[in-house]
Amino acid sequence: MAKKIGVIGAGGWGTALAVLLSENGNEVSLYEHFPEYAVKLRVQKENKTFLPGVKIPRGVVITSSLAEAVKGAAIILFAVPSKHLPGVLELMDTGSLKKGAIFVSAIKGIDRTTLKRMSQLISGRFGKKFEVAVLSGPSHAEEVGRKTPTAVVIAAKKIKTAEILQEVFSGPYFRVYASDDVIGVELGGAVKNVIALAKGVLDGMGLGDNTTAALMTRGLAEMKRLGRKLGARPETLNGLSGTGDLIVTCMSRHSRNRSVGERLGKGEKLPAILASMEMVAEGVTTADSCHRLAKKLGVEMPIAREMYRILFRGASPAGAVKALMGRKLKREEVQ
Q: Looking at residue 211, which CATH number applies to its domain? A: 1.10.1040.10
Please determine, for residue 333, whether its predicted confidence score (pLDDT) is greater than 80. no
Which of these three, 147, 180, 213, is where a domain ends? 180
Mean pLDDT, range 75-97, rounded to an integer: 93
- pLDDT band at residue 209 using 50, 70 and 90 as cut-offs: very high
| 164 and 256 share one domain | no
| 174 and 222 share one domain | no
Domain interval for residue 120: 4-180
- pLDDT band at residue 222 using 50, 70 and 90 as cut-offs: very high
In a domain? residue 257: yes
Catalytic annotation on 192?
Answer: yes
> Where residue 132 sits, what CATH number does that domain have?
3.40.50.720
Mean pLDDT, range 229-253, rounded to an integer: 96
- pLDDT band at residue 278 using 50, 70 and 90 as cut-offs: confident
| 295 and 264 share one domain | yes
Mean pLDDT, range 299-312, rounded to an integer: 97
Q: Which of 3, 192, 199, 224 is catalytic?
A: 192
Q: Which residue has the higher pLDDT, 281 or 200?
A: 200
Mean pLDDT, range 9-37, rounded to an integer: 97
| 212 and 117 share one domain | no
Task: Report the percent of the chain where pLDDT is more than 70.
Answer: 99
In a domain? residue 197: yes
Mean pLDDT, range 11-17, rounded to an integer: 97
Q: Read off the pTM.
A: 0.95
In a domain? residue 334: no
Please determine, for residue 144, whether its predicted confidence score (pLDDT) is greater than 90. yes
Which of these three, 148, 180, 212, is where a domain ends? 180
pLDDT value at residue 335:
67
Which of these three, 156, 180, 204, is where a domain ends? 180
| Longest CA–CA separation in the chain, Å | 60
- What domain count does the chain have? 2
- pLDDT band at residue 94 using 50, 70 and 90 as cut-offs: confident
